[in-house]
Structure 1
Protein backbone atom coordinates (compact mmCIF):
# COMPACT_ATOMS: atom_id res chain seq x y z
CA UNK A 1 0.00 0.00 0.00
CA UNK A 2 1.07 3.51 -0.72
CA UNK A 3 1.01 6.20 1.95
CA UNK A 4 -0.62 9.56 1.52
CA UNK A 5 2.74 11.22 2.22
CA UNK A 6 4.26 9.39 -0.74
CA UNK A 7 1.30 10.28 -2.96
CA UNK A 8 1.39 13.97 -2.09
CA UNK A 9 4.96 14.32 -3.36
CA UNK A 10 4.54 12.27 -6.55
CA UNK A 11 5.16 13.91 -9.88
CA UNK A 12 2.21 13.93 -12.28
CA UNK A 13 3.92 11.21 -14.30
CA UNK A 14 4.46 8.97 -11.25
CA UNK A 15 0.91 9.56 -10.01
CA UNK A 16 -0.63 8.67 -13.36
CA UNK A 17 1.64 5.62 -13.62
CA UNK A 18 0.47 4.47 -10.18
CA UNK A 19 -3.20 5.44 -10.37
CA UNK A 20 -4.05 5.94 -14.03
CA UNK A 21 -5.73 2.55 -14.17
CA UNK A 22 -8.16 3.28 -11.31
CA UNK A 23 -10.53 4.58 -13.98
CA UNK A 24 -10.78 1.79 -16.53
CA UNK A 25 -8.50 2.66 -19.48
CA UNK A 26 -8.98 6.36 -18.69
CA UNK A 27 -5.83 7.91 -17.19
CA UNK A 28 -7.28 11.40 -17.71
CA UNK A 29 -9.19 10.94 -14.45
CA UNK A 30 -5.94 10.48 -12.49
CA UNK A 31 -4.39 13.42 -14.35
CA UNK A 32 -7.24 15.63 -13.19
CA UNK A 33 -7.18 14.21 -9.65
CA UNK A 34 -3.45 14.96 -9.38
CA UNK A 35 -4.28 18.66 -9.70
CA UNK A 36 -6.12 18.53 -6.34
CA UNK A 37 -3.00 17.63 -4.29
CA UNK A 38 -2.08 17.70 -1.52
CA UNK A 39 -4.69 15.38 -0.13
CA UNK A 40 -5.55 15.74 3.57
CA UNK A 41 -6.53 12.08 3.79
CA UNK A 42 -7.51 9.07 1.68
CA UNK A 43 -11.09 10.32 1.40
CA UNK A 44 -9.79 13.58 -0.11
CA UNK A 45 -7.92 11.53 -2.72
CA UNK A 46 -11.08 9.55 -3.49
CA UNK A 47 -13.04 12.80 -3.72
CA UNK A 48 -10.47 14.20 -6.18
CA UNK A 49 -11.14 11.25 -8.50
CA UNK A 50 -14.89 11.72 -8.06
CA UNK A 51 -14.64 15.43 -8.77
CA UNK A 52 -12.61 14.78 -11.91
CA UNK A 53 -15.40 12.54 -13.17
CA UNK A 54 -18.22 14.88 -12.16
CA UNK A 55 -16.53 17.86 -13.88
CA UNK A 56 -15.77 16.00 -17.11
CA UNK A 57 -17.78 16.69 -20.26
CA UNK A 58 -20.52 14.20 -21.05
CA UNK A 59 -18.51 12.73 -23.95
CA UNK A 60 -15.60 11.89 -21.61
CA UNK A 61 -17.98 10.33 -19.11
CA UNK A 62 -19.53 8.21 -21.85
CA UNK A 63 -16.09 7.14 -23.07
CA UNK A 64 -15.20 6.06 -19.51
CA UNK A 65 -18.42 4.07 -19.19
CA UNK A 66 -17.74 2.41 -22.54
CA UNK A 67 -14.18 1.55 -21.47
CA UNK A 68 -15.53 -0.91 -18.89
CA UNK A 69 -15.75 -4.59 -19.77
CA UNK A 70 -18.91 -6.65 -19.83
CA UNK A 71 -19.49 -8.57 -16.63
CA UNK A 72 -18.66 -12.27 -16.76
CA UNK A 73 -16.92 -11.87 -20.09
CA UNK A 74 -14.20 -14.15 -21.30
CA UNK A 75 -12.37 -11.21 -22.84
CA UNK A 76 -9.04 -9.98 -21.46
CA UNK A 77 -9.66 -7.79 -18.42
CA UNK A 78 -7.50 -5.41 -16.45
CA UNK A 79 -5.98 -6.87 -13.27
CA UNK A 80 -8.45 -4.89 -11.14
CA UNK A 81 -11.47 -6.05 -13.15
CA UNK A 82 -10.24 -9.65 -13.10
CA UNK A 83 -9.87 -9.61 -9.30
CA UNK A 84 -13.18 -7.83 -8.74
CA UNK A 85 -15.13 -10.18 -10.97
CA UNK A 86 -13.43 -13.22 -9.43
CA UNK A 87 -14.38 -11.91 -5.99
CA UNK A 88 -18.02 -12.01 -7.08
CA UNK A 89 -17.35 -15.52 -8.49
CA UNK A 90 -18.15 -14.39 -12.01
CA UNK A 91 -15.22 -16.49 -13.18
CA UNK A 92 -17.00 -19.65 -11.95
CA UNK A 93 -20.35 -19.47 -13.70
CA UNK A 94 -22.15 -22.51 -15.00
CA UNK A 95 -22.82 -22.61 -18.74
CA UNK A 96 -26.43 -21.52 -18.11
CA UNK A 97 -25.35 -18.63 -15.87
CA UNK A 98 -22.75 -17.51 -18.40
CA UNK A 99 -25.39 -17.57 -21.15
CA UNK A 100 -27.74 -15.50 -18.96
CA UNK A 101 -25.04 -12.90 -18.28
CA UNK A 102 -24.23 -12.81 -22.00
CA UNK A 103 -27.90 -12.23 -22.90
CA UNK A 104 -28.22 -9.46 -20.31
CA UNK A 105 -24.98 -7.82 -21.45
CA UNK A 106 -26.20 -7.73 -25.06
CA UNK A 107 -29.71 -6.53 -24.17
CA UNK A 108 -28.27 -3.81 -21.96
CA UNK A 109 -25.78 -2.57 -24.58
CA UNK A 110 -28.49 -2.60 -27.23
CA UNK A 111 -30.81 -0.53 -25.03
CA UNK A 112 -28.29 1.96 -23.62
CA UNK A 113 -25.28 1.96 -25.95
CA UNK A 114 -22.76 1.15 -23.22
CA UNK A 115 -21.93 -1.82 -20.97
CA UNK A 116 -23.69 -2.56 -17.68
CA UNK A 117 -21.59 -1.11 -14.85
CA UNK A 118 -21.85 -2.64 -11.40
CA UNK A 119 -19.29 -2.35 -8.60
CA UNK A 120 -19.26 -6.07 -7.87
CA UNK A 121 -17.29 -6.06 -4.64
CA UNK A 122 -19.37 -7.72 -1.92
CA UNK A 123 -22.12 -8.74 -4.37
CA UNK A 124 -23.22 -12.19 -5.44
CA UNK A 125 -23.95 -13.24 -8.98
CA UNK A 126 -27.63 -13.40 -8.02
CA UNK A 127 -27.61 -9.77 -6.83
CA UNK A 128 -25.87 -8.69 -10.03
CA UNK A 129 -28.37 -10.54 -12.22
CA UNK A 130 -31.26 -8.98 -10.26
CA UNK A 131 -29.72 -5.53 -10.80
CA UNK A 132 -29.45 -6.26 -14.53
CA UNK A 133 -33.15 -7.09 -14.70
CA UNK A 134 -34.17 -4.04 -12.68
CA UNK A 135 -31.94 -1.55 -14.47
CA UNK A 136 -32.97 -2.65 -17.96
CA UNK A 137 -36.24 -0.83 -17.21
CA UNK A 138 -34.52 2.49 -16.45
CA UNK A 139 -34.58 5.48 -18.77
CA UNK A 140 -31.33 6.09 -20.69
CA UNK A 141 -30.55 9.21 -18.63
CA UNK A 142 -31.18 7.47 -15.31
CA UNK A 143 -29.00 4.57 -16.38
CA UNK A 144 -26.22 6.92 -17.48
CA UNK A 145 -26.26 8.46 -13.98
CA UNK A 146 -26.46 5.03 -12.34
CA UNK A 147 -23.43 3.86 -14.33
CA UNK A 148 -21.47 6.91 -13.16
CA UNK A 149 -22.48 6.27 -9.53
CA UNK A 150 -21.24 2.68 -9.87
CA UNK A 151 -17.96 3.92 -11.34
CA UNK A 152 -17.51 6.18 -8.32
CA UNK A 153 -17.93 3.12 -6.08
CA UNK A 154 -15.30 1.30 -8.17
CA UNK A 155 -12.92 4.26 -7.72
CA UNK A 156 -13.42 4.09 -3.95
CA UNK A 157 -12.79 0.33 -3.77
CA UNK A 158 -9.68 0.49 -5.93
CA UNK A 159 -8.17 3.46 -4.08
CA UNK A 160 -8.92 1.94 -0.68
CA UNK A 161 -7.04 -1.17 -1.83
CA UNK A 162 -3.97 0.85 -2.81
CA UNK A 163 -3.69 3.68 -0.29
CA UNK A 164 -3.23 3.27 3.44
CA UNK A 165 -5.77 5.13 5.59
Structure 2
Protein backbone atom coordinates (compact mmCIF):
# COMPACT_ATOMS: atom_id res chain seq x y z
CA UNK A 1 0.00 0.00 0.00
CA UNK A 2 1.04 3.56 -0.69
CA UNK A 3 0.89 6.35 1.86
CA UNK A 4 -1.18 9.36 0.78
CA UNK A 5 1.79 11.61 1.55
CA UNK A 6 3.85 9.62 -0.98
CA UNK A 7 1.07 10.04 -3.55
CA UNK A 8 1.08 13.80 -2.95
CA UNK A 9 4.88 13.90 -3.44
CA UNK A 10 4.80 12.07 -6.79
CA UNK A 11 5.60 13.85 -10.00
CA UNK A 12 2.93 13.54 -12.69
CA UNK A 13 4.56 10.57 -14.42
CA UNK A 14 4.87 8.63 -11.14
CA UNK A 15 1.30 9.56 -10.19
CA UNK A 16 -0.11 8.29 -13.50
CA UNK A 17 2.00 5.14 -13.27
CA UNK A 18 0.64 4.44 -9.76
CA UNK A 19 -2.99 5.47 -10.33
CA UNK A 20 -3.53 5.37 -14.07
CA UNK A 21 -5.34 2.02 -14.03
CA UNK A 22 -7.87 2.93 -11.33
CA UNK A 23 -10.31 4.12 -14.01
CA UNK A 24 -10.69 1.49 -16.73
CA UNK A 25 -8.42 2.15 -19.72
CA UNK A 26 -8.36 5.85 -18.83
CA UNK A 27 -4.99 7.00 -17.44
CA UNK A 28 -5.97 10.55 -18.46
CA UNK A 29 -8.13 10.69 -15.30
CA UNK A 30 -5.09 10.38 -13.05
CA UNK A 31 -3.11 12.68 -15.33
CA UNK A 32 -5.75 15.42 -14.96
CA UNK A 33 -6.34 14.87 -11.22
CA UNK A 34 -2.62 15.24 -10.45
CA UNK A 35 -2.96 19.03 -10.72
CA UNK A 36 -5.23 19.06 -7.65
CA UNK A 37 -2.57 17.79 -5.23
CA UNK A 38 -2.06 17.81 -2.35
CA UNK A 39 -4.98 15.62 -1.34
CA UNK A 40 -6.09 15.74 2.27
CA UNK A 41 -7.55 12.24 2.19
CA UNK A 42 -8.03 9.22 -0.03
CA UNK A 43 -11.67 10.25 -0.44
CA UNK A 44 -10.53 13.73 -1.53
CA UNK A 45 -8.31 12.13 -4.17
CA UNK A 46 -11.23 9.96 -5.27
CA UNK A 47 -13.56 12.94 -5.55
CA UNK A 48 -11.00 14.86 -7.62
CA UNK A 49 -10.68 11.90 -9.98
CA UNK A 50 -14.45 11.46 -10.22
CA UNK A 51 -14.87 15.14 -11.00
CA UNK A 52 -12.74 14.65 -14.12
CA UNK A 53 -15.41 12.21 -15.35
CA UNK A 54 -18.43 14.19 -14.16
CA UNK A 55 -17.24 17.24 -16.09
CA UNK A 56 -17.26 15.40 -19.41
CA UNK A 57 -19.88 16.28 -22.03
CA UNK A 58 -22.38 13.46 -22.56
CA UNK A 59 -20.80 12.11 -25.75
CA UNK A 60 -17.37 11.85 -24.10
CA UNK A 61 -18.93 10.37 -20.97
CA UNK A 62 -20.54 7.59 -23.00
CA UNK A 63 -17.22 7.03 -24.80
CA UNK A 64 -15.57 6.73 -21.37
CA UNK A 65 -18.21 4.17 -20.34
CA UNK A 66 -17.42 2.17 -23.47
CA UNK A 67 -13.85 1.76 -22.18
CA UNK A 68 -15.22 -0.71 -19.62
CA UNK A 69 -15.31 -4.42 -20.42
CA UNK A 70 -18.43 -6.53 -20.55
CA UNK A 71 -19.01 -8.55 -17.42
CA UNK A 72 -18.44 -12.29 -17.86
CA UNK A 73 -16.35 -11.73 -20.97
CA UNK A 74 -13.75 -14.18 -22.14
CA UNK A 75 -11.73 -11.41 -23.76
CA UNK A 76 -8.53 -10.08 -22.24
CA UNK A 77 -9.34 -7.35 -19.71
CA UNK A 78 -7.42 -5.24 -17.22
CA UNK A 79 -5.86 -6.69 -14.09
CA UNK A 80 -8.31 -5.01 -11.71
CA UNK A 81 -11.34 -6.13 -13.74
CA UNK A 82 -10.01 -9.67 -14.03
CA UNK A 83 -9.58 -10.01 -10.24
CA UNK A 84 -12.95 -8.42 -9.53
CA UNK A 85 -14.83 -10.63 -11.98
CA UNK A 86 -13.04 -13.74 -10.70
CA UNK A 87 -13.97 -12.79 -7.14
CA UNK A 88 -17.63 -12.71 -8.17
CA UNK A 89 -17.38 -16.09 -9.90
CA UNK A 90 -17.91 -14.70 -13.39
CA UNK A 91 -14.93 -16.70 -14.65
CA UNK A 92 -16.69 -19.92 -13.65
CA UNK A 93 -19.95 -19.62 -15.56
CA UNK A 94 -21.37 -22.68 -17.22
CA UNK A 95 -21.61 -22.49 -21.03
CA UNK A 96 -25.34 -21.77 -20.67
CA UNK A 97 -24.78 -19.01 -18.12
CA UNK A 98 -22.05 -17.51 -20.27
CA UNK A 99 -24.40 -17.47 -23.28
CA UNK A 100 -27.13 -15.79 -21.18
CA UNK A 101 -24.71 -13.10 -19.92
CA UNK A 102 -23.37 -12.53 -23.43
CA UNK A 103 -26.91 -12.08 -24.82
CA UNK A 104 -27.92 -9.76 -21.96
CA UNK A 105 -24.70 -7.74 -22.38
CA UNK A 106 -25.47 -7.32 -26.10
CA UNK A 107 -29.04 -6.26 -25.31
CA UNK A 108 -27.78 -3.76 -22.74
CA UNK A 109 -25.20 -2.34 -25.18
CA UNK A 110 -27.83 -2.02 -27.91
CA UNK A 111 -30.19 -0.20 -25.55
CA UNK A 112 -27.75 2.17 -23.86
CA UNK A 113 -24.72 2.36 -26.16
CA UNK A 114 -22.22 1.35 -23.48
CA UNK A 115 -21.53 -1.86 -21.53
CA UNK A 116 -23.22 -2.87 -18.29
CA UNK A 117 -20.99 -1.46 -15.54
CA UNK A 118 -21.43 -2.95 -12.11
CA UNK A 119 -19.27 -2.99 -8.97
CA UNK A 120 -19.04 -6.75 -8.63
CA UNK A 121 -16.97 -6.87 -5.46
CA UNK A 122 -18.98 -8.57 -2.74
CA UNK A 123 -21.55 -9.85 -5.23
CA UNK A 124 -22.09 -13.25 -6.75
CA UNK A 125 -23.17 -14.16 -10.26
CA UNK A 126 -26.84 -14.43 -9.25
CA UNK A 127 -26.87 -10.93 -7.75
CA UNK A 128 -25.06 -9.52 -10.78
CA UNK A 129 -27.50 -11.23 -13.15
CA UNK A 130 -30.42 -9.80 -11.18
CA UNK A 131 -28.93 -6.29 -11.29
CA UNK A 132 -28.40 -6.58 -15.04
CA UNK A 133 -32.00 -7.65 -15.61
CA UNK A 134 -33.36 -4.86 -13.39
CA UNK A 135 -31.17 -2.18 -14.99
CA UNK A 136 -32.31 -3.16 -18.47
CA UNK A 137 -35.65 -1.57 -17.43
CA UNK A 138 -33.99 1.83 -16.86
CA UNK A 139 -34.17 4.84 -19.14
CA UNK A 140 -30.93 6.09 -20.69
CA UNK A 141 -30.87 8.98 -18.21
CA UNK A 142 -31.31 6.65 -15.24
CA UNK A 143 -28.70 4.24 -16.50
CA UNK A 144 -26.16 6.96 -17.26
CA UNK A 145 -26.43 8.05 -13.61
CA UNK A 146 -26.30 4.47 -12.35
CA UNK A 147 -23.21 3.70 -14.43
CA UNK A 148 -21.48 6.68 -12.79
CA UNK A 149 -22.54 5.45 -9.34
CA UNK A 150 -21.10 2.02 -10.12
CA UNK A 151 -17.83 3.50 -11.40
CA UNK A 152 -17.57 5.50 -8.17
CA UNK A 153 -17.93 2.28 -6.16
CA UNK A 154 -15.46 0.35 -8.31
CA UNK A 155 -12.80 3.04 -8.15
CA UNK A 156 -13.32 3.59 -4.42
CA UNK A 157 -12.59 -0.11 -3.83
CA UNK A 158 -9.50 0.07 -6.03
CA UNK A 159 -8.12 3.15 -4.29
CA UNK A 160 -8.76 1.59 -0.87
CA UNK A 161 -6.70 -1.43 -1.96
CA UNK A 162 -3.86 0.82 -3.09
CA UNK A 163 -3.66 3.82 -0.75
CA UNK A 164 -3.63 3.85 3.04
CA UNK A 165 -6.05 6.12 4.84
More deviation in 146-155 or 68-77?
A: 146-155
Aligned counterparts of 2:32 and 2:58: Cα–Cα separation in 1: 15
Q: Are 1:49 and 1:155, in contact at CA under 8 Å, matched by a contact in 2?
A: no
Write out aligned runs for 1:112-151 (5 A): 112-151=112-151
Displacement after TM superposition at 1:57 (Å):
2.4
**What SS is found at the alignment partner of 1:67?**
coil
What residue in structure 2 maps to residue 69 of structure 1? 69
Which aligned segments of 4 or more residues in structure 1 are displaced greater than 6 angstroms? none
**What SS is found at the alignment partner of 1:76?**
coil
Gaps of 5+ in 2: none
Aligned counterparts of 1:18 and 1:27: Cα–Cα separation in 2: 10
Gaps of 5+ in 1: none
Write out aligned runs for 1:9-158 (5 A): 9-158=9-158
Q: Are 1:16 and 1:30, in contact at CA under 8 Å, matched by a contact in 2?
A: yes
Displacement after TM superposition at 1:141 (Å):
1.4
Displacement after TM superposition at 1:63 (Å):
1.6
Q: How big is the alpha-carbon RMSD for the aligned residues of Structure 1 and Structure 2?
A: 1.0
What residue in structure 2 maps to residue 7 of structure 1? 7
Displacement after TM superposition at 1:156 (Å):
0.4
Aligned counterparts of 1:75 and 1:51: Cα–Cα separation in 2: 30
Aligned counterparts of 2:57 and 2:158: Cα–Cα separation in 1: 23
Question: Structure 1-normalised TM-score?
Answer: 0.96
Q: Are 2:108 and 2:115, in contact at CA under 8 Å, matched by a contact in 1?
A: yes
Question: Structure 2-normalised TM-score?
Answer: 0.96
